[in-house]
Amino acid sequence: MDKLRSIVLAIRALGIKNVLWTLVASLYRDWWNLRYWQGWRKKPVYHTGTIVTTRFSERGGRFGFGEGSLDVTFLQEDIVRITWQPGTPPIPYALAQVDWPMVRVDTESLDDGWVLKSSEVSVHVHQNGDIDFLDPKGRILRSEAAPMRIGEAWEQRSWMRPDERVYGLGERAAPLNRRGRKYRMWNREVGGIYGANDDPLYVSIPVYLGIHMDGSYLIFYENSSRGEFAFVADSYATFRFESGMLRYYFCPGPVQRAFKNYLRLTGEPPLPPKWALGYHQSRWGYKSEQDIREVIEGFRNHRLPLSAIHLDIDYMDGYRVFTIDRTRFPNLVELTEELRQDNIRVVAILDPGIKVDSAYSVYNEGVEDGMVLTLPNNKPVRARVWPGWCVFPDFTSEKTREWWARQYVSLLNEGISGIWHDMNEPATFAAWGEPTLPYATRYAMDGRGGNHIEGNNLYGLLMNRAGFDALQRFRPNRRPWILSRSGWAGMQRFAWNWTGDVETSWEALRQTLLVMLGLSLSGIPFTGSDIGGFTGDPDAELFLRWFELATFTPFFRGHSAIGTQRREPWVYGEEATNIVREYLNLRYALMPYIYTAAWQVHHDAVPMMRPLFWLDEKDENLLAIEDEYLFGDALLLAPVLEQGASARSVYLPSGSWYSYWDDQWYEGNKTYRIEAPLGRLPLFVRAGSVLPVEEDNQLVLHLYAPSTDTEEANISLLYSDAGDGYRESRLDRFTVFWEKSDLVVDMQHQGQYRMPYEKMVLKLHGLTAESAQVALSHRPVTENVIELPALQSLKIFVKK
């Protein structure tokens, strides 16, 4: 069914001629793959054997085995790098540059092998090559069997506890807990549509969090080769990579610390420009300036706020990257400038494929200067994509990255604010088999050489790196913003992500929440989905439920495929438009809070979307919940994901919570049935929080009273700056606690940025105040609102 549907879609989108060429392209790919294929020859299998030599250094040690060697290196007290050789070392594209501190590692010899130990982890290397990782109390966090080498490939097993849960692996249309399935490590274009259970998708990342009774840990395999992770057996998991050395990093839990260390290793996401957190409108099918103006007009007429509009592939001249179709966009600079006056940014799509066309400079330069991927016969590899036959930049070459980056100037000159990287798995059109390049395709690998088996998964990452560098270099006073479909470990340093061509269905909506949470836990916190699904026509209910959810995701964009019905927020009639408007306004009102959450990602290495177990990874109740999540520090969401539902059950974690809509108070650690008619997404605020909201030029600090028996203080943050660039900023910190019968708000600030608000007020929820004392002076309280002289360091005493 799906297959047929995608064929029909393909013919419709591509035209019959292109489809025929796609057949040719698929044959060409297969022909090269056959030549590359080494036959069914049995590959030799090597077992490590036992330790024969040892050598210890400050950070760890090296163990020579009968076959191969093992290096254990502590980068930090709580980050251990393991390297099994032989095999080609990875080029550290995934890694951020970090000066690792000195670590003290103790070494101890045992009857069975050696223990290397920091204050946070012990690594027990057994005589036979098995490895245990233990916490300081001696509890085993992870046990591995000695790996095996099969030809060029590595295969490893680790033992799984019955209760062990596994999270991460990148973008997966699977349950959040990945146990019970197999996952391919291979970035793949899903062919225009995917639903629950399709694997792999566009972003596969060999990183995961393991959580079990005795603790938790994170493992990251720094190996971009094609591989597979299987969590199907009851008692063990299997990891396979087709080439390269077996290098991985072990970080002990708790998950928050392990996650932080993973981002230290692979890089924290930079602070995005504030506009990127607003609403984006897109559609594959806005083809001309006229189309764009009509859409903008629609937003204006319906009084819907908008921050960005996206140009899909039709803005280009014959799909040639870095060109503009001047009949459709006669004056793009003027358009972008005009929209800029209204605070609307224009984002343009870029595909990596370069049209084969001898009259096209990008093609000529790319080929003449050896900047495109080649085959073993030294000829550029070709494949079909939108422009017809294409060649592909080799982003594993610094020279190519620089050259490619320079091309962005042409888009910047048109006033384009953000760049949208599509098709960078890399994707090609295929009539059958994998929509990718031949495996023998050669990559520069910055000097050492490699093939597509290793290069495929790096392609998006490095395209993003080139694009990010371009925006940083050629527009230095503004923050780069790139949206990318594909990537690998470390892509968060350069780009945001969206979840690609997800189908339009209720099941896909449910799945998409998990995809986004899974990405967040894989170190890609800035993600979002096409509202309503990419490839179909949602009815108003599905559209609105998707919209409700998307309002509380980092990337908030409406997008749809060509050939689908129009899906601007007002096409569903007035009632639906009113709901959309309410959510859009809510998103913009919450911007101070959302921006702060985005800053926390960058500064504190916490995802914006967090599963409930983020609060307590030992709590089985929280671990079991996959359809609720936290958005920043203060908000809990329980989206409605079922057709026809007008209520749902919601588990609230410990502490207490308020309904955002009516201030209803709920005690935590309990499940409730919550009314949730269309337009009423169950949304809760954690008691004790200060939720900063922007309302008509005012900053309203909504204070949700902690319950009177709470002894701890609750800290909320507010980060502010000009929204772009790199100038002053400020951080306000609100500490809320009870002092006898006074509720105290201790406000502290640092930083020079001046708030743009005309007025600032504190609004109380969950208690009725009689009077207040701000700094030393008495203040009236009217309808639970206290006016603040300024946001400065002061104490407020609220008297009941």
Query: Which residues form the interface with ligand MIG (CB under 6 A)?
Result: 284, 312-313, 349, 422-423, 485, 500-501, 559
Token output for 767: 């208690």
Listed in sequence order, the DSSP H helices in 242-360 are: 255-266, 289-301, 332-341
Of 349 and 509, CB closest to ligand MIG: 349
Least distance CB 488 / ligand MIG (angstroms) = 18
H or E, element range at 442? strand 442-443
Least distance CB 341 / ligand MIG (angstroms) = 27
Of 531 and 640, CB closest to ligand MIG: 531
CB 615 within 8 A of CB 256: no
319: left (phi over 0), alpha (psi -120 to 50) or beta: left
List the beta bridge partners of residue 764: 703
Which one-letter amino acid corresponds to residue 495? Answer: A
Least distance CB 409 / ligand MIG (angstroms) = 22
Distance CA 142, CA 219 (A): 10
Catalytic residue from among 78, 199, 501, 568: 501
The 3-state DSSP class for residue 351 equals: coil
Least distance CB 547 / ligand MIG (angstroms) = 18
Least distance CB 423 / ligand MIG (angstroms) = 6
Residues in contact with 689: Cβ distance below 8 Å, sequence separation at least 6, in sequence order = 633, 634, 703, 704, 714, 716, 736
Least distance CB 312 / ligand MIG (angstroms) = 5
- DSSP class per residue in 161-211: -TT-EEEEEES-SS-SS-TT-EEEE-----SS-B-TT----S-EEEEEEEE
Of 203 and 313, CB closest to ligand MIG: 313
- DSSP class per residue in 111-134: TTEEEEE-SS-EEEE-TTS-EEEE
Of 558 and 607, CB closest to ligand MIG: 558
Residues in contact with 45: Cβ distance below 8 Å, sequence separation at least 6, in sequence order = 148, 149, 150
Q: What angle do CA 590, 591, 592 make, to 5 degrees?
A: 95
Of 66 and 563, CB closest to ligand MIG: 563
Of 563 and 751, CB closest to ligand MIG: 563
Question: In Å, what is the CA distance from 125 to each residue of 74, 107, 113, 244, 695?
Answer: 14, 11, 6, 22, 59
Q: How many CB atoms lie within 10 A of CB 727?
A: 10
Of 122 and 484, CB closest to ligand MIG: 484
Of 71 and 422, CB closest to ligand MIG: 422
Catalytic residue from among 422, 434, 530, 732: 422
Of 428 and 689, CB closest to ligand MIG: 428
Place of tokens 């929509």: 435
Q: What are phi and psi of 379, to 5 degrees?
A: -90, 150
Buried b or exposed e, range 556-586, using 16+ CB within 10 angstroms: bbbbbbbebeebbbbebeeebbebbbebbeb
Closest CA to 279 of 597, 632, 593, 584: 584
- DSSP class per residue in 618-673: T-HHHHT--S-EEETTTEEE----STT-SEEEEEE-SSEEEETTT--EEESSEEEE
Least distance CB 188 / ligand MIG (angstroms) = 12
Residue nearest to ligand MIG (CB): 284
Which one-letter amino acid corresponds to residue 214? Answer: D
Token output for 442: 């050669």
Least distance CB 352 / ligand MIG (angstroms) = 12
Least distance CB 559 / ligand MIG (angstroms) = 6
H or E, element range at 363? helix 361-368
Least distance CB 318 / ligand MIG (angstroms) = 14
**Helix, strand, coil tally for the chain in percent (to 5):** 25, 30, 45
Asked if the bond preceding 86 is cis, omega within 30° of 0, the reply is yes
CB 196 within 8 A of CB 239: no
Of 149 and 485, CB closest to ligand MIG: 485
Provide the angle, in degrees to the nearest 10, between the axes of the packed helices 591-604 and 574-589.
Answer: 50
Of 18 and 621, CB closest to ligand MIG: 18
Q: Is 422 tagged catalytic?
A: yes
List the beta bridge partners of residue 762: 701, 786
Catalytic residue from among 71, 425, 503, 627: 425
Distance CA 337, CA 360 (A): 28
487: left (phi over 0), alpha (psi -120 to 50) or beta: left
Q: Is 425 tagged catalytic?
A: yes
Distance CA 124, CA 98 (A): 26
Of 501 and 548, CB closest to ligand MIG: 501
Distance CA 501, CA 452 (A): 24
Distance CA 654, CA 776 (A): 35
Q: Which residues are catalytic?
A: 422, 425, 501
